[in-house]
Structure 1
Amino acid sequence: MFIQCKNRKKPKIISLILCLFLLCLLPGCELRKTANESNSDQVTLTPEPTSTDKVSDKKEEADPNKNKVTVAPSDVPKATEDPKLEDFSELDKYFKDYTFDISYDEKLEYYERTYSVHGEYDLDGDGKADRINAVLKANYEEDDIYIEVNDRKVALNRGNPSGEVRVIDLDSRDSYVEVAIFDDGPSGDPNFVFFRYDGKELSLIGSIDRYALMDGQGKFISWFHLANNFKPQFFSAWGEFKNGQYVITNHDVEQNIGKTYEVDGSGYFIPLDENPESYFEHTVWDSESMREFKATKIKILDIHIEEDDRILNWFYVELPDGERGLLYFWIGD
């Protein structure tokens, strides 16, 4: 009986072994199947052939940086201390002692004149004089007026010249000096237009009002951003030429509120018991509102100015006799 039982167990044992063997085979098949499915999702860098594309035998190497996101450095400079007003001077201080040969027909009216400008000056700092030519006139067409340095020509779009052309050093930290062309503006807004020659190309840098200040290291304070009638003076913004644009940095003017200054010159004063919400609504340009100031002690109670418009010209003030009102000055139209 024992033997019979033993014989009956053999088929069961064999069946058990076969099952275990099959179980070992199945995971391997599943693993191979999973790997194959995974490979079918890979992206191939080489494009599949089409009717117009030829298959190249050359392999494209994987770029390790291809999938990395790189943040480009910002063009905004690192925060620096605001410039000091005492470091700035009139543009005339930075003009070079050089006179261009300028010719024109004196018999013609101012608006009819054509100015021919010729000169030689080392503009790029290579020790060699550069040939400078320009044609300036009021009644112009686009191709008629220009500045040219060593056969590099740039058309001008200013139409109120006086014939004044100067050499100026905008930034003593570089090797260049620039050409400054004066233009009187369409309605009495005089300005200088600056051009730079780097040895290869002649480019327009930008323009600034005639009575701006500069520090000789690339910084400017526009006349419109200066408290010109106040002593001591203060300013609302300063600027730099960067990539063909004049980039303005605002300067804090709230620090001047509550202080007393001496005011000189002619200004407009509108009596107001309270600080107006909108200075524009109270601004008039008639002679009845004009007053003369001569070293008059005036306390600034508020300054009306915008973040994106730094014209420094409207002040809510208190006069020596206690009268309050809006003070502003003529700055052109």
Structure 2
Amino acid sequence: MMRVTLADVAAAAGVSTATVSHVLRSAERNDGTIRVSSSTRETVHRVAGELGYVPSAAGRGLALGAVERIAIMVPNLVQPYFARMAEALILALEERGLSTTLRLARDAEAERDALLGVTTRDVAGLIVCPHFLSEELLDGASPALPTVQVGGLPTPGIDAVVMGEREGFLTATRHLLDLGRRRIAYVADPWLPSHEGPRYRGYLEAHTERGLEVDPALAIQGTDWDRRETGLEAMVGLLRSGAPFDAVMCINDAAAVGAMRAASLAGLRIPQDVAFTGFDNTEEAAYTTPPLTSVDPGVPEMAQRAVAMLIARLEGEDGPARRESAPLELIVRSSTGG
């Protein structure tokens, strides 16, 4: 027999799920501050009793204010995107009255152990910004506690707020092509040379739209896309190859900072000789020389959606894994002539 959910109670009572959640939480906390009519409160309680609704342990703790912490897991804080996302998640959780603990998953084992509850027994839920998460990594196991994934390729069975990686690179590549750039390098993606990454697909799709072929010599692989050194090293390799190029699309802002440094040291003018784009629209993008054109993936909105999804699970919502995304925007700056 399936467990009765908040959505079941809401449907039977003829009110929203949010109303049911607020009424039941208000009752358990006995604070009397809920702004619904007494008849609505009575209906919700009666229907919940008739259906046999029982809050989950995590949801009951949330209602009583007893859930102390939500774990936020990121691979590192060297990459500005992860630091920005962690801050956005902490603030979004604080708005809901929840405290947080920040964890680092430096390898696949650490990430798997967090999802399976080995290292997260002290928290009620988990929001993970993955580097290694996949169906293969979990090997058929399910997360031990309510979990939401933010960014990365969606994992079957796990709620996710996905980032518009393909769409972002499609938009940025179109921007460069509209400016007349035709030899656009792609730096530096760990997914290469398999070409399976969504960012490369967006880059390739924009070229295909214009009837253009991508020169394989301009797609540069990197081992670690979280560090500025990766962009610098990739750019040095591209310059030494002798392959002509008039633009460089960097896998993210961190790589772009290093790549722009290498280009400047080589005497190239930005954007006159070569245009640059990044991804993530981190704070440092506005302070490079010149300022960096970058895709803004909507980090604050992603964080808000992730927290809302997690709280819904904590409050007992069942159902298949959900996928949501935030709107993105290309922020045009001087590195492309904007």
Larger RCO, structures 1/2 (Cα 8 Å, 6+ apart): 2
**TM-score calculated relative to the size of structure 2:** 0.23
- Bigger Rg over Cα: 1
Answer 1 or 2: which has greater strand percent. Answer: 1
TM-score normalised by L of structure 1? 0.24
